Amino acid sequence: MSLENAPDDVKLAVDLIMLLEEHEIAPEVVLRALEIVKRDFERKAQGVRHSQC
């Protein structure tokens, strides 16, 4: 299946998975790091929503 027509979030997820697997990062470390990234981007998304009001 080609990613050419996939949504941007799917393309990004595949790229991130490949990068993390290539660097052989432990799954537990990845999950903890992703929680940090998620919180950071949730705050950024909130800031965007508040600034557009």
Per-residue pLDDT tens over the stretch 19-53: 999 999 999 999 999 999 999 999 999 987 777 76
- Residue 51, pLDDT score: 73
Specify the pTM. 0.76
Read off the tokens for 5.
């027509």
- pLDDT above 70: residue 2: yes
pLDDT at position 48:
78
CA 10 to chain centre: 10
Give the model's pLDDT for residue 46.
92
Measured at the CA of 10, the angle between CA 28 and CA 38, to 5 degrees, comes to: 45
